[in-house]
Structure 1
Amino acid sequence: MAVKDFALPDLGEGLTESELVSWHVAVGDTVQLNQIIAEVETAKALVELPAPYEGTVSRLYVEPGVTVSVGEPLVAFEVAGTPEPDAESDSTADAADAADAEEVREPMLVGYGARPDARGRPARRPRPGLTAPVVREPAVAAAAPASAPVAAEVQERPRATPPVRKLARERGIDLAAVAGTGERGLVTRADLDAYAAQAPAPEAPATPATRGDAEEIRIPIRGVRKATADAMVRSAFGAPQATVFLTIDVTPTNELIERLRARPEFAESRPGLLAVVAKALCLAVRRTPEVNSRWDDAAQEIVQTRAIHLGIAAATPRGLLVPVVRDADALSLAGLSGAIRELAVTARSGKTPPGALTGGTITITNVGVFGVDAGTPILTPGEAAILAVGAVRRQPWEHQGGIALRDVLTLALTFDHRIVDGEQGSRFLADIGGILADPASVLTLV
């Protein structure tokens, strides 16, 4: 039997670390190729990791809740195979060739693509000493200097077993300050005990606690929350943003929705107000294409996109996500409604792949589902406009020369004032409002 380590792979989209959410296996379990063994949370989504080998789980390096860098080992497997060549063997070249052959036979990790290599096979890599398990590097680590040992590349954090890491946290001990005496510098429970015995006792608090509950709760900023915070700061301070508002009577649109839902071709998609707003936005972009653009600071150019890749802001248990409906302008109302519905379900279940959260050109956020009438949304970085849809209120409204109870809605459009002028932003919002107030007006749009 041979021991193989599986390191956190490059999950794409420039992500360099992930938090281990849960293990689906335990030490001693037998796993099949591509069996889901763990779930990790990136800054964008939850990702399931499949097993790259058939074998037995011999070690779990990381416990749930720990953030792991790309290239750091997650789990070790015992797999059937030829043992490593003896260190004293004279057939060094043959051993290296055998290692290359073994690399070729190594199964591909489903969902992350094959290893890049100009010659069609993996590049030969330095081999660690006999006392160290074989660490398979992901493609992102291939650019490291050839002279650097593989094991050194993944030791960004002190090595310790999950129980020892937990014990260190409970004792308030920084593992980086503890000298490991275990194999390959592993920090053991005895090392923690020795460190604690030598460390000075903490000073007693000046004032004893007077209540059982903590005065404050500290929540680590990571995952989606960290990514959202970074994006909002970049957006708010990176582009001059202006917001315009429009309140309209959407009773005709709601009446249209009821009629459409009664038709057989809409029985499955069942379009709602958000889908109609999305369709109206796509139609209005034709007259004001500036809103479907981005600012290229390096080239000092405005980049206008022909296709509309529509972001739909979705509140999920993990935080705010903005998955994207590709080529939304090419979809029918039924197709757009179905895409939005599927996108929302996937986002709330935490299964949105990272690639589906990038590439948007304009965004809609529906604050009305929370009972909010209006707001000033912040642009998604790299986009020129975002539309906020408020709650529909049944209230008195001027109608046909009199006062009647009508369905009233407020829209808010925030735009990048470097790209979109006030006249253009106002016209775009008025076009959307005009469609919602009178759906037949789409016949007049150029």
Structure 2
Amino acid sequence: MTTSTHLMRQRRFLPLFLTQLLNALNDNLYKNAMVLFVVYQVYDSPEMETLISGVATALFVLPFVLFSATAGQLADMRDKTKIIRWIKFAEILIMSVGATGLLLAAKGVQIESLAIPLMFVALFAMGVHSTFFGPIKYAILPQHLHKDEVLAGTGLVEAGTYVAILVGMMLGGAMPIMYSIVGVIVIALIGYVTCRWVPPAPAQSDENTVDWNPIRASKSLIAFSMGNLELRYSVLAISYFWAIAAILSVQFIPLAKNVLLADKQVAAVLLVAFSAGIAIGSVSINALLKGDISARYSARSVLVLGVLLIAFYGVCRMWNLQPQGELFTVWEFLAQPLALVLTFNLLLIAVAGGMFVVPLYAFLTTRVDKSEASRSVAANNFISSIFMVIGAGVAGALGFFGIPLEEQLLLSLILCVFSAQLARKLHATEALRDAEVESLR
């Protein structure tokens, strides 16, 4: 049985699902509470706002580049469940440090000399924490689920992650700072209790020597990921997708403010639509594929995403509406004739994205030996992080050179074509492998 409701009743899946959901929730609650508090309560300058936001993003992404290779090796060579428990215990300590920094800042005590450094140390540590947890949340699925359940499990993990990111972002922006301080510690404690219910997942590899040199380990990881055709095409297609996501994320809030002339609550509504779309697409692709791990719909999905981006661009160009005040409020925005079209368009873009990326994540853990599944996911995390940084950098450079925000959207179309081509190659390789297996029977 491959239905989501079936898996959500199983101990071999539900505790892991809840653990990763709480992990993503806490990451984003802390990060957004910290950045918004520092930007709006501590400093009052656009330059410092940009600097703080950029430093926070860099500190969180950097560990994925530095430690993904080591994280993948460790998860393949040790019991994944034991690693999860150590990671979740570390989260309690990390969030205690971050909460201390937030508390000092809220009280106005040694803000620049102690409070902000503590917050950034905790943010970097949470990036390390997520780097080591990331390979496990996908690689553990083939150990606990049946073959025809892996796609459904992957879709649920992806959907849960996006829902948790959205809720964390909203809570981080809406809750008073003292509630956020208590919340990050409480969520870390609940996450640790939940992870204790994850069944054992012993090492599948006979290797037991971890290479702690990040440069050498990263080179080895890249060679490993590029040496398997299905893995290579999956990793590169996912990485191009995350480059698209990085470009859109950089453009999203400026576009809402400067093109749609909408306030930050409207931007939050659009983020809700986007996150809901990813969740819908992540779950619905399993129903379409009926549990079969295949890339046969991936190329079409990302091309549909590209067409929808063109439609979104067109709606933005047609948006010549002026608010009564400085910016549209939520209700003023929703009352505009193009608002529902634009929101639904954004929802469908995200649905297409979810349908594209979930089967590719399933390839990472099922097209290699179980003893290499974590390294497969780690390779994807490493390369995707680099693509995201490049994508965000290119988007920032376009803005710096004065390219209008609407036209910046079209940059993503090139990456959609690259992703579709890689997905086609992946499906062709998949078909060839299936034919070879069939001929041996």
Please give the range of the TM-score, normalised by the shorter of the 2 chains.
under 0.3
Q: Which has the higher contact order (CA 8 A, sep 6+)?
A: 2
Q: Going by fraction, where is helix more abundant, 1 or 2?
A: 2
**TM-score of the aligned structures, taking structure 2 as reference length:** 0.21
Bigger Cα Rg? 1
